[in-house]
Structure 1
Amino acid sequence: MNDFNYAERVKKINPAISQDLIAKVRALRADGVEVIDFSDQGASPDVARQAAIQKINMSSGSSYSDTRGLSELRYEIARKMLIEQKIEVNPETEVLVTVGAKEA
């Protein structure tokens, strides 16, 4: 039993639809229904795999990075926004790098 009381604003947040879809697919497959998966099943780009291998092989490559994202990346994002959208943002306080919208 969950005795935790969530704030009212948190209770209004809808669950991610992707989680509902995953549950639906599992249920259909459990019932023997063939489900065609159109999600990206391709391999990661070679450049990404090579960069990961290089990082793994570095003797000093196992430390935590800034939880806001790499500084260089945040500054590049801010620069790109200024150039392409004419929006000025502070990369130290207004840019946060995440792996996706759910994490954000």
Structure 2
Amino acid sequence: MTGTTASRPGAVPQLDDIRTWVLSRVAYYIERTPAEIDPDAKLVGYGLDSVYALSLCGDIEDEYALVVDPTLAWDHPTVNAIATCLLDLLAARARAAETS
């Protein structure tokens, strides 16, 4: 993991970049290629279990400097849902930084 976004406070990546990153992390955990994962399919269907879901939360913290609930993958069960959630959180953080 590169931590590229975390190193640029206030920077909000594009949704496609977040989606690509989430796909790559999920693919790593379920031992598939990103191309094999439908971003709208429930991750549990690919075998993403609670250990990998929690690991994904740690990856998000490392990459984006965001602390997310350990239930993220269950509350947002697809790659697209997770990516959209992360975009919303990053945008909210950037707005808060602008006003402080």
The answer to whether TM tops 0.5 is no
Say which one has the larger Rg.
Answer: 1
Give the TM-score normalised by structure 2: 0.27
* TM-score (normalizing by structure 1): 0.26
Larger helix proportion of the pair: 2
Which of structures 1 and 2 has the larger relative contact order (alpha carbons within 8 angstroms, sep 6+)?
Answer: 2
